[in-house]
Structure 1
Amino acid sequence: MSFTSSSAGQARVWWETAGEGTPVILINGLSSPSAVWFRLVPMLAGRHQVLTFDNPGTGRTRFEGDSFSMEMLAEAAADVLHAAGGAKAHVLGMSMGGLIAQQLTLTRPELVSSLTLVSTHAGSPHMTQDQSSLEAISRAQQMSSEDRTGYLADLTYARATRAEREADLAVRAQYPTCEEGYSSQLAATMGWERLEDLRTLTCPALVLHGAQDQLVSVANARQLSEYIPRARLTVLEECGHQVFSDQPVTGAHTLLDFFAEVEAAA
């Protein structure tokens, strides 16, 4: 584990690496610390060097400044890739991390060998979603980290997921996101969109989504797969927003198969 300096609001970005092989970088969602990847990392690390980090404003990456943009968040991810050696990586972004991954792939394509978008969308102006979930995300700004995490959990897990949900909440509680960090990350997502630019992407892409996702409708995944030229859409049944908690083994195998195909074709 280490810190790397970043232009993202003068943040010192906390990151760590596990395993060896082709790099994979995992980009977290809104207010999620990198510790939430605890199930997925061991399943990928047998074949890949897995990079995880805390976004500015979350966990061990403190944010120094008044606000930040999606461009800054993407640059923080690029800084982690450079700190890890600068090799091309499989870039995976989940939820808000999917927006960061899109921005990173569009602006720094030399760092990306493939793009995976999980439980995400093409930016709030294009988001297809029930208004109540958007209101819930906004309402959570006024809550403590503990209350916010439990409140949003009702929207983010499949109905059958129980023990995994409790384990996740315990991990999140160890690395809380302050109100300012949550609000700054949320503000960075508002108005951001690069939908038409997605048509210019040339790297292979996987769009992975849960059929029961209440926070981000699966219709958003279909939109992404229509705009990205080389995208493959995979929808997992009995799965909500938290793909790697609701369906951890299936989710990991889907990733490993995709990464292997990309590397075999390179």
Structure 2
Amino acid sequence: MPKVTVNDIDLFYDIKGMGEPLVLISGLLCDHAYWSLILPFLVAQYQVIRIDNRGMGRSSAPDDPYTIQQMADDVAALLDHLGLDKIHLAGHSMGGQIAQEFTLAYPHKVASLLLISSLAKGDERFNSVIETWGKLLPIIDTRLYQKVVLPWIFTDAFYSIPDMVEQLIEFAVHYPFPPKTHTIYHQSQAILNCDTTNRLKNILCPTLVLVGQQDILTPIKFSQQLAVTIPQAELVVLETGGHGFLIESPDAVAQAMRQFLAQVR
């Protein structure tokens, strides 16, 4: 799988499928593999490009401050490398913040925007959680860290499935490309320092704002703000799943994405 040197880092990316290019950007703690359960629903119609953000997976992890704008510029440099002039762009959580900044900086490159479980700016509770996650990993081991994080990501119904959460914890503990402790801190600070509230009106492309009914990390009110302020935005609230519905309800998420993209096409 390929890498390209952009903005003084090696950026890992993965391309599968044929058709119009669709770029998928992951959130905090996640690399391109977070989209794996969604991928089969998309590759029949789209050239799907997944990225490891700086500091994650197989991309470089410099130990210096990150910004959301910087990670958006990494995406732009990758598209230049690939020779892509126009894309559909989807981002989950922090990835949605990156997608917003990309669209604001490079509006001519975005045919449509999909903001999934994302936000313009966090409230006090959200900021407290993200700040804690950014500082906690050097203090506790990976297994305990996951036990702290996962209740914010998955629903009661998901927790009720025998061994499911334990399997996810084991996957994280043994994952061959774990995030470095400084990466989580730098990405968390980038999230906290990002605010697109007063610029959302400048996002003029067709936009899907998608959120799970049971999302307690980026609750519905965050998505409502995006949908009300972005001129061509459509809000879709899925009854199943919370913040981690890309894993918990991938078929429902993929269906919403495909319906929106079909309308744009």
What's the TM-score, normalizing by structure 1? 0.90
Q: What letter corresponds to residue 146 of structure 2 in structure 1?
A: T
What is the Cα deviation at residue 18 of structure 1?
Answer: 0.4
What's 1:237 paired with? 239
What's 2:133 paired with? 137
What is the alpha-carbon distance in structure 1 between the residues aligned to residue 83 and residue 127 of structure 2? 42
What is the alpha-carbon distance in structure 1 between the residues aligned to residue 119 and residue 12 of structure 2? 26
Q: What letter corresponds to residue 64 of structure 1 in structure 2?
A: P
| Cα gap change, 1:108 to 1:164, in 2 (>3 Å) | farther
Q: What letter corresponds to residue 152 of structure 1 in structure 2?
A: V
96-105 vs 82-91, which deviates more? 82-91
Alignment of 1:242-261 (within 5 A): 242-261=244-263
Structure 1: state its 5+ residue gaps. none
What is the alpha-carbon distance in structure 1 between the residues aligned to residue 48 and residue 40 of structure 2? 9
What's 1:215 paired with? 217
Structure 2: state its 5+ residue gaps. none
What is the alpha-carbon distance in structure 1 between the residues aligned to residue 146 and residue 218 of structure 2? 16
What's 2:197 paired with? 195
Q: Does 1:154 align with 2:182?
A: no
What's 1:81 paired with? 79
Map Cα deviations across residues 139-163 of structure 1 (whole Å, 9 max, x no partner): 5343444443342111101221246
What is the Cα deviation at residue 85 of structure 1?
Answer: 2.6
Alignment partner of 1:204 out of 178, 203, 206? 206
What's 1:121 paired with? 119
Alignment partner of 1:100 out of 98, 114, 134? 98
What's 1:49 paired with? 47
What is the Cα deviation at residue 214 of structure 1?
Answer: 1.6
What's 1:2 paired with? 2
| Cα gap change, 1:35 to 1:170, in 2 (>3 Å) | farther
What's 1:262 paired with? 264
What is the alpha-carbon distance in structure 1 between the residues aligned to residue 152 and residue 197 of structure 2? 25
Q: How many residues are paired up?
A: 259
Map Cα deviations across residues 59-110 of structure 1 (whole Å, 9 max, x no partner): 1011235222111111111122223331311111111111101000000112
Q: Is the 8 A contact 1:36 1:168 kept in 2?
A: no
What is the alpha-carbon distance in structure 1 between the residues aligned to residue 132 and residue 62 of structure 2? 27
Identity of aligned residues (%): 29
**Does the residue aligned with 2:224 lie in a helix, a strand or coil?**
helix
RMSD: 2.0
Alignment partner of 1:185 out of 184, 187, 194? 187
What's the TM-score, normalizing by structure 2? 0.90
Q: Is the 8 A contact 1:129 1:216 kept in 2?
A: no
Q: Is the 8 A contact 2:155 2:241 kept in 1?
A: yes
Q: What letter corresponds to residue 44 of structure 1 in structure 2?
A: L
Q: What letter corresponds to residue 67 of structure 1 in structure 2?
A: P
Q: Is the 8 A contact 1:145 1:176 kept in 2?
A: no
